[in-house]
Structure 1
Amino acid sequence: MEFTLDQIAAILSGTIEGDSSATVSRLDKIQEGKPGGISFLSNEKYESFLYETKATAVIVSDTLTLQKPVKCHLIRVKNPYIGFTQLLEAYSQLTKQSKVGVEDPSYMDASASMDEGGYRGAFSYIGKNCSIGKHVKIHPQAYVGDNCVIGDYTIIHPGVKVYYDTKIGAHCEIHPGAVIGSDGFGFAPQEDGSYKTIPQIGNVIIEDHVSIGANSTIDRATMGSTHIKSGVKIDNLVQIAHNVVVGEHTVIASQSGISGSAEIGKNCVIAGQVGVVGHIKIADNTTVGAKTGISKNVTKKGQTLFGFISMDLKDFLKSYAIFRNLPQLQQRVKELEKKD
């Protein structure tokens, strides 16, 4: 796709220094810019590349004072990083929304409905009584079980499995290999030491503007719903267990696991390889560092937690300053014992 700088400036509410009719068809790093590409400069450490780049155009701050002439055209905006992000988003939406229609072979049950502007890829499956909104993209080899609801403009990528009774909101994106609504881990111990499966008869509810990464899994509830609220962003390889609630605009990084019936507040940041035990609550605006284990309720809002078992970050750093010196302290104790 090719765009004029005038079109891009309109998207970003920016002003052009140079030829507004110049065209670009590619997004480049500023240090790797080539003709036909557009880059951005937001970090002053990279300013030297502005005077060397071969990119056709660069998005810069409206307060930037040039130290010498540039060969590229400039688009001046308030915040170049946000501006470039907006451009990436616009480009992504254009490319993702390009596919429409039905590819063969694909299957949709006669009782299901799909609104205008949608796409069904080859070998995709849509079960009974499903309601699919406007401009939804269901890519090849995706499976949508019976009685599912999918909101407008949601994208289901190749190989996604959406189990029965799942409800997915509008403007969501579910990446390849994700499994939504598989059985929760429910087994009742028996007197003979064996385990009996507990039927998982609930569902999964995903609200609007949620992103779910590749090969992540969200289990259906034992009863009621596993609930992912609006704006949540889940990375690849994340496990969300049955009856978990994840609050609005919380982000969860790769390889983290949230155990059954845990409730995560809104605007939380869960870093990679975090483990959360079941049946606890984590307060709003909590940040959890990588590899941290959460084993009890977090009731104070806005904390940063780190370590296993987790503790306040400042307390952990004080403790770490002590236990990293334990070998030397042990040697000193031995030497003192010998003197006695």
Structure 2
Amino acid sequence: MLLDIAVLKEIFSVDCVYVGNKSLTFNGINTVYDAVEGQIAWIKPNVKNNAEILSNTNASCIICNEETFNLGNSEKQRLYVISKDPKLEYFKVLKHIRNSTNKKPLSAIHETAIVDKNCIIGKNVTIGAYSVIGSCTIGDNTQIGEFVKIFDSVTIGANVLIRENVSIGGEGFGFYTHSDGTVEHIPHIGSVKIGNNVQIFPFANIDRGTLGSTEIGNGSVIDHYVHVGHNSKIGESTIVCANSVLAGGSKINNRCFIGVNTLLKEKCEIGSDSITGIGAVVVKNIPDSEVWVGNPAKFLKKNEK
């Protein structure tokens, strides 16, 4: 695939500025350290040795901010794309290349997938091999990977990406201990509601509500091996990192970042714009815009955005 300045202008933000050799074409993307002639790279702002990085890289196209560009560009023939957010523009190129080289047929349901006759499927939905889909609703442009299990009473929004080996809507972990010590499972007859533009990575598990629903808000990301217990709520644009556990009835609000291996006690709540560190064990509510770390998790500082 060859990219020229005309294609880049379609990909990048309208306020980007282009300086240098505008006749070049580019055949790939790489890190600024490993890039060779013909490739695109980006430079992270505010790094003290950026002048050296800029001088030594062999990339033919550099995405950087104005401050980095003003450090002094080398005599090498290249194109500079000056942006307020170079990392974002770099990701846009990655997305363009992936989408151009990994096109999948629209509305493709693999022949080995099992889909309930009462399932409501939107437009341009793909369902991967050996997935089992119950009586649920799937929104437009949603992609479901291989070996996914989606139970009844699940509603999935539009533009959702569910990767392989995910389970959504199964029975929750709730039990009643009788006076004689015997343990009986409590039936879970609720639902799961997943918003638009959600991404769910492999081996995540989302239980349905006992009564009511387990919910994931628009634009949130659920990483590998995350467990979302029954009746838990995750707000919008929240990232939950790998191996984290949300016990039943817990709640994470909007725009949170939940660090790897975070454990959230049942019915605890994390306020909007808050962060938990790696391995945090949350046993009480966290207010908005705070950073908590440790076991048990304790306040570290305010999250100054």
* TM norm. shorter chain > 0.5: yes
Residues 1:128 and 2:117 are matched in the alignment: yes
Q: CA deviation at 1:19?
A: 4.5
Matches of 2:110 and 2:60, distance apart in 1 = 36
**What residue in structure 1 maps to residue 36 of structure 2?**
34
The residue number in structure 2 matching 1:113 is none
8 Å Cα contact 2:232-2:250 kept in structure 1: yes
The amino acid across from 2:116 in the alignment is: G
Deviation (angstroms), 1:86: 2.1
CA contact (8 A) 1:41 1:47 kept: no
5+ residue gaps, structure 1, are 101-116, 315-340
2:146 to 145, 148, 158: 158
1:140 pairs, out of 113, 129, 140, with: 129
Q: Does 1:209 align with 2:209?
A: no
Cα contact 2:251–2:269 (8 A) shared by 1: yes
1:250 matched to which residue of 2? 238
Cross-structure match for 1:4: 4
Q: What pairs with 1:184-333 in structure 2 (closer than 5 Å)?
A: 184-298=172-286, 300-313=287-300
Task: For 1:159 and 1:95, locate their aligned partners in 2 and report how far apart those are by CA, in whole Å.
Answer: 23
**Runs (4+) of structure 1 moved beyond 6 Å?**
none
Residue 204 of structure 1 and its aligned partner are, at CA, apart by 0.8
CA contact (8 A) 1:210 1:232 kept: yes
Rounded to whole Å, the distance in 1 between the matches of 2:40 and 2:113 is: 36
Amino acid at match of 1:142: S
Report the 3-state secondary structure (helix = DSSP H, G, I; strand = E; otherwise coil) of the residue aligned with 1:51. helix
Q: Is residue 22 of structure 1 aligned with residue 7 of structure 2?
A: no
Q: Which fold has the larger relative contact order, with Cα–Cα distance below 8 Å and residues 6 or more apart in sequence?
A: 2
Q: Contact 2:142/2:158 (CA < 8 Å) preserved in 1?
A: yes
Q: Can you list the C-alpha shifts for 1:124-150, whole angstroms capped at 9, x where unaligned? A: 2222211222222222222222x2111
2:274 partner amino acid: T
CA distance in 1, matches of 2:270, 2:61: 46
Identity %: 28
- Which among 54, 61, 79 is matched to residue 58 of structure 2? 54
Deviations 1:41-66 (Å, cap 9, x if unpaired)? 23443443433333332223345122
Q: Structure 1 313/76 Cα, relative in aligned 2: closer, same or farther at 3 Å?
A: closer
Deviation digits for residues 42-94 of structure 1 (CA, Å, limit 9, x no counterpart): 34434434333333322233451224312333233332212112222333344
Q: How many residues align?
A: 295
CA distance in 2, matches of 1:159, 1:36: 39
How far, CA to CA, are the matches of 2:64 and 2:264 in structure 1? Answer: 42
Structure with greater helix share of residues: 1
Q: Structure 1 residue 180: deviation in Å? A: 0.9
Structure number with greater Rg is 1
Show CA shifts across 1:243-273 (max 9, x none).
1011111211111100001122212221111
Using the TM superposition, name which of 50-59 and 268-277 deviates more.
Answer: 50-59
* Residue 89 (str. 1) matches residue 57 (str. 2): no
In 1, Cα distance between equivalents of 2:294 and 2:123 = 45
Q: Please tell me the root mean square deviation across aligned C-alpha atoms, in Å.
A: 2.1
> Bigger shift: 223-232 or 156-165?
156-165
**Contact 2:20-2:77 at 8 Å conserved across structures:** no
Is residue 54–residue 71 contact of structure 1 (8 Å, CA) maintained in 2?
no
Give, in angstroms, the shift of residue 218 of structure 1.
0.5
Q: Taking structure 2 as the reference length, what is the TM-score of the superposition?
A: 0.88
> Given the superposition, is the C-alpha separation of residues 233 and 23 from structure 1 closer, same or farther in structure 2, using an over 3 Å criterion?
same
The answer on whether the counterparts of 1:53 and 1:72 sit within 8 Å (CA) in structure 2 is no
